[in-house]
């Protein structure tokens, strides 16, 4: 089993926590902040070299990212809007990672969650069921569809030993195909000739904006869920069992922990988060389910989770950072005449550099505290 779920924040460091020495915890924790930040800097430098080689100005690029993502009140709201699905899809990677699984099916769970929510809305909207009830049912369906999808990958991992990384990505392709099948066939809204979509849920049924902002409630939901999952994973017996299983599945079995149940449960939690992201995309942005749901949030979420070292709390700022990068994509594209895949190159590069930076852990004396020597 892949060992990707190292303890992530000071609170998880057993030896240090037992001593209760705040200074020790900060020093250990600093490593988990410093190295990802270092990786971000290195990938920015590499990306600048890439741009220079193409005759583009890196200064202009980062200036545009700043302006397009964080420069004005409007762009900040746009960024936060895009951070919401990123927080949720990153949680969909982080939770299974804590139990030692590299699950990358967030995109599929998001698409199916959004699709399920849009489908269940059709009869409810037609029957003039009050919006709050409709939205609750939609959210429940979206969550359930996502949980089912990622949970399936988790079940296959446990029951049959099917590699979860491959199966979850395959399930993503299957999920998108299922949506396309229904959206272009039986459930197509024939009044909309432009793009195959399901019936729109209508403005009256859309999720509203948070008071005083232009950002929908998905952001608040994502932040609350991140905090809840942080507490669940780091402060409860369940979280402790998950961490033991992630660290050493054999030891967990020997302890009599229900390893299979824990794995499936973690995966279902993960899928639920991604499915919820799909629900918000449908109920707060798109208003219907169509191919736009597969916009890549699930894949960017993988990177966000790894940068946050699978710590739910750290996911929030990282998701906002990447929400900004995604949000500024259009501006960068127009002003610098760069293809839309520029953001994809930056993300891929960051991801590679970040994973390579894993090798730095435990190499710097300044972070090391005697008695808490590296475990790997």
Interface ranges with other proteins (CB under 8 A): 1-4, 102, 104, 156, 160-163, 165-167, 169-171, 173-174, 177-178, 180-181, 184-185, 299, 302-303, 306, 338-342, 344-349, 351-352, 354-356, 358-359, 361, 376
> How is residue 197 annotated by DSSP?
B
Strand-pairing partners, residue 216, are 209
Shortest distance (Å) from residue 322 CB to other proteins: 13
Q: Is 105 in a helix, a strand, or coil?
A: coil
| Cα gap 247→309, rounded to integer Å | 15
Q: Which is nearer to other proteins, 194 or 359 (CB)?
A: 359
CA gap 77, 68 in Å, rounded: 11
* 197 contacts: CB under 8 Å, gap ≥ 6: 183, 188, 189, 288, 289, 290
> Shortest gap between Cβ of 11 and other proteins (angstroms)?
22
Structural tokens at position 1: 């089993």
Rounded to an integer, what distance in angstroms lies between the CA atom of residue 294 and that of residue 290?
8
Smallest separation (angstroms) from other proteins to the CB of 129: 30
> 181 or 364: whose CB is closer to other proteins?
181
Q: Which is nearer to other proteins, 156 or 225 (CB)?
A: 156
Nearer to other proteins, 203 or 337 (CB): 337
Question: Residue 223 or residue 327: which is nearer to other proteins going by CB?
Answer: 327
* C-alpha angle 132-136-140 in degrees, rounded to nearest 5: 170
The residue among 140 and 162 lying less far from other proteins, judged by its C-beta, is 162
**Rounded Cα distance, 75 and 328, in Å:** 8
The answer to whether 332 touches 68, Cβ cutoff 8 Å, is yes
- CA 157 to CA 160: how far, in whole Å? 6
**Closer residue to other proteins in complex, CB, 331/345:** 345
Place of tokens 């699930």: 298
Q: Please identify, using beta-carbon distances, which residue of 134 and 198 lies nearer to other proteins.
A: 198
Q: How many residues does the chain have?
A: 376
Query: What number of other Cβ atoms are within 10 A of residue 46's Cβ?
Result: 15
Strand, helix or coil at 58? Answer: helix
Task: List 197's β-bridge partners, or say none.
Answer: 290
In order of 45, 117, 118, 293, the CA distances from 123 in angstroms are: 53, 11, 10, 21
Given the complex with other proteins, which of 44 and 167 has the nearer CB atom? Answer: 167
> Terminus-to-terminus CA distance in the chain, angstroms?
14
**Least CB distance to other proteins at residue 125 (A):** 25
């Amino acid at each position: 089993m892949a060992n990707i779920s190292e303890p992530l924040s000071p609170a998880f460091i057993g030896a240090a926590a037992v001593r209760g020495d705040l200074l020790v915890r900060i020093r250990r924790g600093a490593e988990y902040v410093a190295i990802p930040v270092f990786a971000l800097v290195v990938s920015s430098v590499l990306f600048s070299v890439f741009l220079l080689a193409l005759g583009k100005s890196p200064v202009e690029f980062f200036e545009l990212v700043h302006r397009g993502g964080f420069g004005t009140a409007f762009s900040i709201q746009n960024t936060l809007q895009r951070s919401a699905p990123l927080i949720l899809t990153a949680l969909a990677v982080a939770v299974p990672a804590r139990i030692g699984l590299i699950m990358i099916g967030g995109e599929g769970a998001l698409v199916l969650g959004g699709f399920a929510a849009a489908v269940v809305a059709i009869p409810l909207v037609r029957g003039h069921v009050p919006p709050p009830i409709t939205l609750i049912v939609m959210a429940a369906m979206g969550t359930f569809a996502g949980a089912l999808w990622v949970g399936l990958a988790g079940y296959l991992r446990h029951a049959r030993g099917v590699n979860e990384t491959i199966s979850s990505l395959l399930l993503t392709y299957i999920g998108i195909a299922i949506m396309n099948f229904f959206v272009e066939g039986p459930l197509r809204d024939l009044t909309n000739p432009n793009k195959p979509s399901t019936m729109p849920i209508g403005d009256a049924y859309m999720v509203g904006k948070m008071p005083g902002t232009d950002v929908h409630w998905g952001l608040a939901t994502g932040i609350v869920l991140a905090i809840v999952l942080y507490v669940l994973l780091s402060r409860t017996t369940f979280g402790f069992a998950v961490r033991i299983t992630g660290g050493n599945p054999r030891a967990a079995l020997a302890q009599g922990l229900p390893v299979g149940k824990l794995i499936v449960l973690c995966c279902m939690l993960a899928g639920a988060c991604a499915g919820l992201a799909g629900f918000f995309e449908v109920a707060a942005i798109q208003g219907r389910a169509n191919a736009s749901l597969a916009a890549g949030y699930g894949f960017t979420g993988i990177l966000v989770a790894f940068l946050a070292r699978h710590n739910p709390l750290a996911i929030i700022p990282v998701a906002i950072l990447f929400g900004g990068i995604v949000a500024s994509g259009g501006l960068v594209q127009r002003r610098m005449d760069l293809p839309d895949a520029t953001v994809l190159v930056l993300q891929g590069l960051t991801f590679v550099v970040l994973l390579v930076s894993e090798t730095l852990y435990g190499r710097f004396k300044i972070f090391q505290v005697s008695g808490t020597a590296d475990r790997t």
